Structure 1
């Protein structure tokens, strides 16, 4: 059964508002992308281009009161605009990566997970959403394990 879904990037305004002092306090820093793909932006859901400035910052991607609370490093392109994807649209940056899909219930408890290639993104999302108790899915880059984006039912 196919399920309509929506992939969401992070809100770019929350990163643009950070001052240099706040970035220092968080241990975050700017770097220049030296390969593409290689620096997937969690706001625009696009890979940074070679020579583009990206912020490396620790981010609470699963800030819930459960044992699955988690944070980790992410990249944010300078002046990135928040992705505005259509229903069932999959950003190109996911297509060429090995991905980990983690399905959570309304209490933030992981119910299921799977690892597959990005070309199978739609199939993986729909498979996990077959379980009615799944509220949302987090997609991670399987190799480094870092958070990529969230998926909700449309």
Structure 2
């Protein structure tokens, strides 16, 4: 099986948002309290506890604008949290979800057609290994199966 790296958001970027840096829509991140109902932090890759402060903001997980560079809402802890270790295995947010949307992207940061599929989270590793057999796949996004929100990026280990 292919070794995987689960890439959380960069700590410098998250810290900049905590200091008020504008999001992908040019807006200051909103500060809210988590309802505890599944607000996954894209930095530590775990759920934000009920009543914990969080930021809600628009994020484009691509190097720049282009037709396939989707912008969507994400959550991050408003206070410090450790960045998820890339080689630590499947993050906690996927252990508590039944399904996830997985989609492959090419080196041009565009969707590789035919790779998008909603799968059980138990199949993340095996599906990623199968996708990474295709040399056209540079990386994979894991996204919310119900809302298409970016969760994290997968790369070959």
TM-score range, shorter chain: 0.7 to 0.9
1:21-60 paired onto structure 2 within 5 Å:
22=22, 26-36=27-37, 38-60=38-60
In structure 2, the CA distance between the partners of 1:107 and 1:53, relative to structure 1 (3 Å rule), is same
Distance 1:102 1:21 in 2: 29
Classify the secondary structure of the residue corresponding to 1:93.
Answer: helix
Q: Which residue of 2 aligns with 1:8?
A: 7
Partner residue of 2:124?
A: 121
Segments of 5+ residues of structure 2 without an aligned counterpart are none
Gaps of 5+ in 1: none
**SS of the residue 1:110 aligns to:** coil
Q: Higher strand proportion, which one? A: 1
Please say if residues 95 and 121 of structure 1, whose CA atoms lie closer than 8 Å, have aligned partners that are also in contact.
no
- Following TM superposition, by how much is the alpha carbon of 1:64 offset from its aligned partner in structure 2, in angstroms? 4.4
Q: How far apart in 1 are the matches of 2:60 and 2:8? A: 14
* Distance in 2 of aligned mates of 1:150 and 1:21: 22
